[in-house]
Amino acid sequence: TPPGLNFSGYQLSGKGNAATLNNTGQDSYKKFSDSITSQSVYGAFLVNVTAAERPGDYFAAFLPANSNTFYSGRVHARFKDGFLEFGISKASPNDTNTMIWASGYQLNTTYLLVLKYTFITGSANDQVSLFIFPSGMPVSEPVPVIGPLNFSGTSSDAVNIGKFAIRQNATGRSPNLII
């Protein structure tokens, strides 16, 4: 979708086009040149949510290199009590009513979101974090708006991170947005 989104100070602002996501049931994946199995992985993107419902759904996530189904580090959006909310989950389960959400955001506004997935030695203990920037770019990594959360014992860790996905579910739960 032309044109791309704009965000002051973001290096890729206004470059290229954007993608419009609706609830038409299509996923798209971008494979990394190498899979990551340690430390942290970051995914930064601009998003402008034009419509969202409650309970909401996820629209962006990381994936292992050889999977199109094990979404790891999911970014959710919903509309609740007059405000846009962003939330994160590590993987399954996908219970948007018990997740942690950040509220007070507006529809039809461009935000810079940064998803962080951190590998931790052991099992079912990797962490996810979400940074949300309404304006401006930080000079160093700030405290995340949500996280770090490990959802300990509730979902498996990714074996690696090798793809970034954008997702539009075919239900009324999915937000409509430009990314």
Q: Burial, 61: exposed, middle or buried (Cβ in 10 Å; 0-12, 13-18, 19+)? A: buried
What is the pLDDT at residue 67?
87
Here the tokens at position 46 are 């601009």
Q: How far apart are CA 116 and CA 1, in angstroms?
A: 26
Q: Tabulate helix, strand, coil % of the chain (nearest 5).
A: 0, 45, 55
Confidence of residue 146 (pLDDT cuts 50, 70, 90): very high
What pTM does this model have? 0.93
Q: How far apart are CA 95 and CA 89, in angstroms?
A: 9
Here the tokens at position 160 are 């690696």
What is the pLDDT at residue 96?
59
Provide mean pLDDT across the span 152-177: 85
For residue 36, pLDDT beyond 90: yes
What is the pLDDT at residue 110?
97
What is the pLDDT at residue 97?
59
- Is the distance from CB of 24 to CB of 170 less than 8 angstroms? yes
Q: Kindly state the greatest CA–CA separation across the chain.
A: 44
Between residues 23 and 29, which one has the greater pLDDT?
29
What is the pLDDT at residue 103?
96
Query: Using one digit for the tens of pLDDT, what is the confidence trace for 94-134?
Result: 555 567 899 999 999 999 999 999 999 988 889 999 999 99
Here the tokens at position 165 are 């996905």
Sign of CA dihedral 78, 86, 10, 137: positive
Here the tokens at position 112 are 């810079």
Query: Using one digit for the tens of pLDDT, what is the confidence trace for 37-48?
Result: 999 999 999 999
Q: How far apart are CA 175 and CA 169, in angstroms?
A: 9
Query: Using one digit for the tens of pLDDT, what is the confidence trace for 54-102?
Result: 888 899 999 999 988 888 889 999 999 999 999 998 876 555 556 789 9
SS3 58: strand
Tell me whether strands 26-36 and 57-63 are parallel, antiparallel or unpaired.
Answer: unpaired
Average pLDDT, the chain: 90
Sign of CA dihedral 137, 142, 145, 147: positive
What is the pLDDT at residue 153?
58
**End-to-end C-alpha distance for the chain, whole angstroms:** 9
